[in-house]
Amino acid sequence: MPLDKSLEQIGVESLKGVGPKLKEKLAKLQIHNLLDLLFHLPHRYEDRTQVKPLIETQDGERCMIRVMVEHSQIQYGKRRSLICRASDQTASIDFRFFHFMSSQKQRLQAGTELYAFGEIRRFGRSLQMIHPEISYIKVGESAPLLESLTPVYPTTEGLHQASWRNLQKQAVALLKQKPTEDLLPSELQQKWQLMDINQALIWLHQPPKNTPIEQLNSEDSPAIKRLIYEELLSQQLSLLIRRKHNQKANAFIMRNQGQLKNNLLQLLPYQPTHAQIRVSQQIQQDLESSRPMLRLLQGDVGAGKTLVAAMAAFHATESGFQVVIMAPTEILAEQHYLAFSDWCQSLDVKAAFLVSKLKTKEKRETLESIANGEAQLIIGTHAVFQEEVQYAQLGLAIIDEQHRFGVNQRLALRNKAPQGKQLHQLMMTATPIPRTLAMTAYADMDLSVIDELPPGRTPVQTMAISEQKRDQVIKRIEWACHEEKRQVYWVCTLIEESEEVQSQAAETTANLLAEQLPTCSIGLVHGRLKPEQKQMVMQQFKAGHLDVLVATTVIEVGVDVPNASLMIIENPERLGLAQLHQLRGRVGRGSIESHCLLLYTQPLSDNAKARIQVMRETNDGFVIAEEDLKLRGPGEFLGTRQTGEMALQFADIVKNATLIPEIQQTAKELIKNNPKLAEAICQRWLGYRQEFAEV
């Protein structure tokens, strides 16, 4: 093998045992060269360096045993299996093989000595291992155990652990002969007291015999510490490089007299908050620049993001550009369209609504009005970035609940900009983002926060009530509707993802409530209703013609009914904190005292108890977001934004939060002083994911 080349230049096909098929399987995991292979690190380890007597083994424990075969036989029944009885000096065990060849039975003859590794299963006093890994001990030969812990690698179909260990053994041997370049500058290694990258890789693939397994997954391990720092650095570098690329691009400069914005403010029956005005000015400065805006607007439920988005949209339309507002669900897109339609009519701005379920004629007319520029403001779902949609002069994209859209979807929308130009992009989220996560996951964006609620809002009182007290809840609804003249939401939640099952559950609940509350008018909204049906029910509820609205979580965002002062969330234990907070935000939108009842079913898990307790204690979205991040972790919290971006293998942005400010500062200095090295670190760690650097 040519060692005049670096490990990055040596393809995996140069290793013994790698043919075209195996090369293709490795390519699916983005492993093309030897350094890619070495950076494919174990996710856990098994201790095969010492033998455990059978009598000391625990149920469920994975361990190495040394035994002698007593007898073996094929057992027939519903499923044919090979049973082998073996023992050491302390106890006996049965090995069971459901998949075996006749040669295997022949090797498992009485008197054969072997090592077996697998999971111990205890049934009373008897022990069993299903499909253990077996190493035969030759008669008269010493049988040394392994000198290092056995790594277990993340894998794909058809790639077994034995193959991984064989490949990595070859790769590590070459690494020892030809160490890879350590990209981290020596001054950083000294400052952070980090191990050399070659030592770290060797240690992780072949950990020393007496290393405690728990240390291998701990940042106390020097090797893990080294990888945490470099991985976080590469991730920060990639976001900052993306930001730099974005700043080099050209967007339309949007300057005007601000007439539409002023006219919009005069239409309002209230004054915008100081926070709304401050954030709106930040956005306007971005739009008046040739540097494409990439700004994340966050604000708690009810903080007034829609008005800020409207001020941005009308600033762009007054400058002669089209604006698209993209929402993740049809019901939210409809809510935005209804809210904007009134303003557009008064301001003489032509709005269009584009979702996939439009009738053919209506869709054709909408697409024509977008293509010829007649439609100035386009509101819709993912339908707005489909290939058939051509814009006359698109300049600004506003993406609501942006974490629900994947990287590729946002890229498809950005490609709708006129040739040679890049869109201004305003991302919005009603899920407040913890500072740690904002610094780590959104370093490529400018952040604006609406940290002030409109005056007159009263905090929602939240209570947890057992399902056994359902009758009391029904009486509370009756009181709210008749005595207080208020309206009520009843939210149905289900574990099943199926819209059909959810819709059936909501229908059942609506029918039951209609029986129990004969004097109340009950409405129903769920995902399977046609858009016009949903819109009609929502309008009836908003107009006060319905007392109770039974809904699935489709009403999570975008619905504003100030007269609704009571919400019941059924089975809240099935939802995350952020979603519960979003739902609760549908009440408390006026000056009257509002309540949210969490109707839970016993028994509750510790995690569910913790979530419900947080909901009872605070209405502060940022506190809730921090707790949600702790309970769920960054992957779930980020949703589809994680695709291609946040797959951190070693670092944990919650546990390693204290490292991030210093690493981010280091990344900025590295990009400024040594951009080639910054690119090389990104390429080593992120590789194929760099294709997203332009998003």
Q: pLDDT for 74-119, tens place per residue? A: 988 888 899 999 999 999 999 999 988 888 888 999 999 999 999 9
Q: Which helix (H) or strand (E) holds 606?
A: helix 606-617
Cα angle: 664, vertex 666, 667; to 5 degrees: 65
pLDDT at position 308 over 90: yes
pLDDT in the model for residue 375: 95
Where residue 296 falls (left for φ over 0; alpha for ψ -120 to 50; beta otherwise) is beta
- pLDDT tens column, 358-398: 888 999 999 999 999 999 999 999 899 888 999 999 999 99
Separation of alpha carbons 62 and 64, rounded Å? 7
- At 392 the pLDDT is 93
Q: What is the structure's pLDDT at 29?
A: 86
Which residue's structure tokens are 């990009």?
671
Angle ∠(43,48,54) on CA atoms, nearest 5: 120
Q: 259-450, superfamily in CATH?
A: P-loop containing nucleotide triphosphate hydrolases (3.40.50.300)
Cα–chain-centroid distance for residue 311? 30
Residue 408's pLDDT band, with cuts at 50, 70 and 90, is: low
pLDDT at 640: 40
Confidence grade of residue 557 (pLDDT, cut at 50, 70, 90): low
Higher pLDDT, 356 or 569: 569
Place of tokens 């002023």: 262
pLDDT at 336: 87
- pTM of the complete model: 0.69
Kindly tell me if the per-residue pLDDT of 65 is higher than 70.
Answer: yes
Tell me: the pLDDT tens digits for 119-149?
A: 999 988 899 999 998 989 988 777 778 877 8
Looking at CATH, the fold of the domain delimited by 461-618 is given as Rossmann fold (3.40.50)
Amino acid identity of residue 400, one-letter, is: D
Helices 531-542, 330-347: inter-axial angle, 10-degree rounding: 70
Task: Tell me if residue 53 falls in helix, strand or coil.
Answer: coil
φ, ψ of residue 397 to 5 degrees: the values are -115, 130
Distance between CA atoms of residues 230 and 239, nearest Å: 14
Give the pLDDT confidence of 160-194 residue by residue, as tens digits: 888 999 999 999 999 999 999 999 999 999 999 99
**What's the rounded mean pLDDT across residues 538-557?**
83
For the chain, which residues make up each domain, given as ranges?
7-45+151-217, 50-145, 259-450, 461-618
Residue 446: its H or E element: strand 446-450
The CATH number of the domain covering residues in 50-145:
2.40.50.140
In the numeric block, which tokens belong to residue 620? 């502060």
Do residues 453 and 287 lie in contact, with contact meaning Cβ atoms separated by under 8 Å? Answer: no
What is the mean predicted confidence (pLDDT) over 620-627?
A: 81
259-450 matches 461-618 in fold:
yes
Query: Do the beta carbons of residue 414 and residue 422 sit within 8 Å?
Result: yes
Q: What are phi and psi of 685, to 5 degrees?
A: -90, -35
Q: Give pLDDT, residue 266.
A: 94
Quickly state the pLDDT bin for 641 (edges 50, 70, 90). Answer: very low
- Rg (alpha carbons) of the chain, rounded to whole number: 31
Mean pLDDT (the chain, rounded): 86
Q: Which pLDDT tens digit goes with each residue over 280-299?
A: 999 999 999 999 998 989 88
> Is a pLDDT exceeding 70 seen at residue 403?
no
Highest averaged pLDDT of the listed ranges 133-142, 480-489, 583-592: 480-489
Is the predicted pLDDT of residue 495 greater than 50, yes or no?
no
**Between 263 and 502, residue with greater pLDDT:** 263
Average the pLDDT over each of 84-88, 330-334, 423-427, 439-443 and give the range with the smallest value: 439-443
Percent with pLDDT over 70 in the chain? 91
pLDDT of residue 34: 94
